[in-house]
Amino acid sequence: MAKTVPEARELPEEEETHEESQAQGFDAQESDAEGRELSPAMRIALYMVVPFLVFFLIDGRFFANEFLATHFSVSPLFAFAPILSLYLGWPAMVGCVAAEAIVCLSTGVTVFEPGIWVAGLIFYVVIPYLLWYATSASSPDPYPRCSRAGALAKLFWIIILANLVYAIFASFSATQMNVANGYAWSVMSEFLLMTSITLTLGILLLIALEASPLTPMPASWITVPYQKRRSLTLTQRIVLMFAALATVVLLGLILSFYVFIYSEEEGGAESIFELIAASLVLGDVVIIVLWSFCILVIRYLQTRFTIPIERLSETTRAFPRQMADYQRAVDEGVRGEALAEAKAKAEDPVDMGDLKPSGEVAYLVEDTDTMRASMVSYLDEMRSVTAENERVKVELETAKDIQQSAVPHDFSEIEAELGVQVAASMTPARDVGGDFYDAFRIDATHLGVIMADVSGKGMPAALFMMRALADLREQMHAHPEDVGLALTRANQALCENNGAMLFVTVFIGILDTETGVFSYANGGHNPAWILGKDGTWLKARKGLMVGIMDMIQYKTETLQLAPGGGLFLYTDGVTEALNPEEELYGEDRLDAVLKKVEAAAGGEASSETLVEDVLADVHTFVNGAEASDDITALAFRWLPAS
């Protein structure tokens, strides 16, 4: 037995040899700190010295008391010897036996009696140790624990056998007792008393040792690493309840025994002592029966309640990690068996084996299985949705680029060839929008201008915008002499196959760059603003929106521009912009800003300055509030060559 226990170490879950280790709540990440830090020699010394001091001091004090030495052949502390030895190994055995030998020799008895006591104690500590580890050699958890009915039953029978052997040895010294009804009575009383104490206080000690920083020291053939438990299992809590009840019974019996012994009266002392001794024996029997009943109750409960709940708890704790592993496998592009295995670990039902949970526990297990499967399914759905969203996002970015490329941004050629200074900007409220503008060369002396706003937002509006822009350009090229007719024909074209019932507000115009005459037509759009130091709103008929009724006839109106004159056009996204207090930007503020910009430049502000300053003021007004509509503006000035 020279080999010490394999040190408690951190184990990855893959190395656990049986699902039972998970069900019992082992924590592979919380190994015993002291077991890692102490050297083997220090551990042996600690495990030997502590039991020696406890037995030497307490046992010595016990037999130093004349009354106790007269009425008891052993001290109740002996009941702890097999438990200490079972957990702390051979060093604890040596410490207990050495302390007992010194105590026996110090009492002044003959050499023969200490020999019997020491021999009995050797058997008392060695038998449980060897029996436990011999029967646990192939177990995935060979260490002494009171966490299962099977382990508790094995401990029960080992304690009974050890105490029976010790009682046989101890009863050779029955002559020390005032009352000795023969060898058989002595063996029985010793056996029952020590068994009841070991079962009650010893099991409490075993649970306390497991909760302590100390690690077990098993037999040399045990190679399974010891794993610290996070907390007491449900079974151990039940054992503690039975132990508490048995402790009350045991302490009550011992207390009554002391009371009657100290109150002996002449003539009746012997009969009273025998009566109390018999009662104590009966109480010991009750305690042993109580522990037998405890084992039966735990065996029944653990198959239907405790172990299912423990396995369910362990599975629940492992679920987030398993989900993370599955998510990581998906994110890293793992395929085939590895991905299927990660998914199976996350969604597999709780492994109950041959257990049969009942009642609410069964419902809880079923609901947990459903939850795990649903969570994995939800993760798959979210991954699909995310992938689809990414695809849509890419498509929207492409659509945005296409839409932006559909309207002009560089007007230098128009200014060079036609003498018209143009600037424009379009900011969709979403990735794509329904606003659009255009300024294009119709022929060598005519410039076409469009400002429009499609009903709605997003992709439907963007698609209708592309159609409307194409129809308006086509009709303005076809009818440069009559803008009203061009808008009428474009309206008729847009009314055809308009199942989505979309419409567009439009302001279009054609500037004759030789005369400065600007012909225009309005299809339900915002009024234009005439540029200049005394700039004002353009009075124009506000016809019906385009795309609603194909019989609408739009009229042409004209405006004579002076050199340097022009218009500022916009969509309602400018005047209807909202600030955080949900106040509208409004036409009055737009009018004030345009007048301010023109006044600062003497009525000759560049088109670019007009557009930039207006949009900057809108941005300041909005103050971070979410855009409610597309914002589009265009300005042009006629700058003929002198």
Report DSSP letters for 315-332, one per residue.
HHHHHHHHHHHHHHHHHT
What amino acid occupies position 183? Y
Residues 487, 558: contact at Cβ < 8 Å? no
Contact between 431 and 642 under an 8 Å Cβ cutoff? The reply is: no
pLDDT for 395? 66
Sheet with 536-537: list strands edge to edge. 420-427, 631-638, 566-570, 529-530, 536-537
- Count of other CB atoms within 10 angstroms of residue 300: 12
Cβ count within 10 A of residue 527 = 17
Residues 555-597: tens digit of each pLDDT: 999 999 999 999 999 999 999 999 999 899 999 999 999 999 9
The b/e string for 616-632 (b: 16+ C-beta within 10 A; e otherwise) is ebbeebbeeeebebbbb
User: Which pLDDT score, from 0 to 100, does residue 313 have?
Assistant: 77
Amino acid 279: pLDDT: 58
Q: So what's the pLDDT on residue 431?
A: 63
Helix residue spans in 511-635 (DSSP H): 572-575, 586-600, 607-622
Alpha carbon of residue 220 to chain centroid: 42
In this structure, what token pair is assigned to residue 539? 């009075």
- Tokens standing for residue 70: 């007269």
- Residue ranges of the chain with per-residue pLDDT less than 50: 1-36, 109-112, 174-181, 265-273
Query: Which of these, 473, 472, 558, 569, lies nearest to 516 by C-alpha position?
Result: 558
User: Among 202, 200, 190, which residue's Cα sits nearest to residue 73?
Assistant: 190
* pLDDT at position 382: 74
pLDDT given for residue 111 in this prediction: 43
Helices then strands, each counted (H, E), the chain: 22, 10
Other C-beta atoms lying within 10 Å of the C-beta of residue 409: 10
pLDDT of residue 506: 96
Query: 412-451 burial by CB neighbour count: b if 16+ within 10 A, else e?
Result: eebeeebbbbbbbbbbbbebbbbbbbbbbebeeebbbbbb
User: Do 105 and 63 contact (CB within 8 A), yes or no?
Assistant: no
The string of pLDDT tens digits covering residues 346-399 is: 777 777 777 777 777 777 777 777 777 777 777 777 777 777 777 777 766 776
